[in-house]
Amino acid sequence: MLLIFATPAAPSQTLSISHRNLGRPGTVAVGPEDLNLERVLVQDHPLLIGDFPELATVGDRYAAVSGVVDYRFGDFRIVAEHALRLVPAERPVIQGHLVGDAEHVTIASYNVENLSPHIENFSRVRSPRDVDDAMGSGRMDDIARHIARVMNAPDIIGLQEIQDGAGATSQA
């Protein structure tokens, strides 16, 4: 059966269409009486996938998706008959409100998502997706600005997911 979804939502790696339990910011709720049978898994057409497919995250949407639908392993699936076009969601920045003083210390945790100041060599990584230029792309500046301004420069901060000195380069 050929279906066309005019404005599909991307709550995670799946698409949810007209879900009465759609939470904020676009996540799908599962309950004992609702196993999300209206969930539809969308797959890029195998011949139309680019070198760097866009990854959807909570709240993102796709432009209209059309393709043939089937049902297997408990899920409806659609193989898109065209390249998927991601429409990223606008994500509001939530300003921190805690401020330290002589009697109070502020402590934060921050996930820098595999941050490395090292620019990888294409020939030494497993995949071109592993190449990361945090300095040249402005990512380091963005992280610093976020910690200083949005998080109100906490007194102590624990950074998570910092790569070693070789970055994503395989050392095996």
Q: Each residue of 39-49: pLDDT tens digit?
A: 778 887 777 76
Domain span at 26: 2-87
Does the pLDDT at position 164 exceed 70? no
pLDDT of 166 strictly over 80:
no
Could you tell me the two tokens for 34?
Answer: 């609702």
Domain boundary among 27, 58, 87: 87
Task: Say what the pLDDT of residue 19 is.
Answer: 47
Is 94 a domain residue?
no
Higher pLDDT: 22 or 129? It is 129
**Domain closes at, from 27, 56, 87:** 87
pLDDT tens, position by position, 73-88: 777 788 888 888 888 8
For position 45, what pLDDT does the model report? Answer: 75
Angle at alpha carbon of residue 89, lines to 77 and 82, rounded to 5°: 40
Mean pLDDT, range 47-76, rounded to an integer? 76
12 and 83 share one domain: yes
Total domain count, the chain: 2
Residue 97 covered by a domain: no
117 and 83 in a common domain:
no
Give the torsion through C-alpha atoms of 28, 12, 41, 128, to 10 deg: 180
Beta-strand relationship, 86-87 and 107-115 = unpaired
Could you tell me if 53 and 15 lie in one domain? yes
Domain for residue 155, yes or no? yes
- Evaluate whether residue 132 is within a structural domain: yes
Asked whether residue 64 falls in the same domain as residue 7, the answer is yes
* Contact of 48 with 79, CB cutoff 8 Å: no
pLDDT at 34 over 50: yes
